[in-house]
Amino acid sequence: MRADNGLGFNPKDPSRLGHKYLFVGRRLGELSIWPAEMLIAYQPPVSSASPMTISPLFESYFRRASAKLEEAKRQMKDFHFDTSVSASQESIELSVKGIFLMFVNDFKPEHKISADDFHRLRLSIPPELSSYIDVPRVWFINKLWADLYQIAKYGSDKGEPGSDKFKVGADRILKQDEAEFALRHADEVNRIAQSLRYSSFMQRKR
């Protein structure tokens, strides 16, 4: 049996891990289940363009997004699947808004981000970064969970449109499958924001 398990990764020497394997894993939404030592080896490409500006607001969003991600993991372990989904949804929203703040100068954070805003984001990303920032993918994840915000937060507390009879709490609606799905998406988008933050830091050190 090969020491690298056929992936070019030797657990005794994580520095030999190739970037392409982590990129494929991210695109498949599988990073969250890979060993931690593999993730430590990941260093995203550094842009050669003019350094991106990391605003205090981005830092705030990034810290809060990471905190919400950890909260989602804790709630999952405690079998509180509805609150885990809600925390993942908030983490996704904060990470996406942080990404916009890095690239779109006049971006105004709103609860829902339009498709036109994502088009502007895609046009604003330097070509050398576009290979690992999949804007259509981020748009899909953001839209999916933004549309489910009310249910993730409150369940069906007001009933369906035109009827106030079907009132159900989020804990009766959201189960482990939804919590795991949301957590994978939150982890994926948070890693994108983290990679951008790292890239900007490395540019400023030059």
Could you say which of 1.20.120.330, 3.90.1580.10, 3.40.50.300, 2.60.40.10 is the CATH number of the domain covering 44-205? 1.20.120.330
**What average pLDDT does the segment 193-203 reach?**
77
The pLDDT of residue 26 is 40
User: Is 60 exceeded by the pLDDT of residue 109?
Assistant: yes
User: Is 90 exceeded by the pLDDT of residue 150?
Assistant: no
How confident is the model over 86-104, as pLDDT tens digits?
Answer: 999 999 999 999 999 888 8
How confident is the model over 32-43, as pLDDT tens digits?
Answer: 434 444 444 444
User: Is 80 exceeded by the pLDDT of residue 188?
Assistant: yes
The full set of domain ranges for the chain reads 44-205
- Which residue did the predictor score with more confidence, 74 or 3? 74
For residues 158 and 88, the answer to whether their CB atoms sit within 8 Å is no
**What average pLDDT does the segment 25-31 reach?**
39
Structure confidence at residue 164 as a pLDDT band (50, 70, 90): low
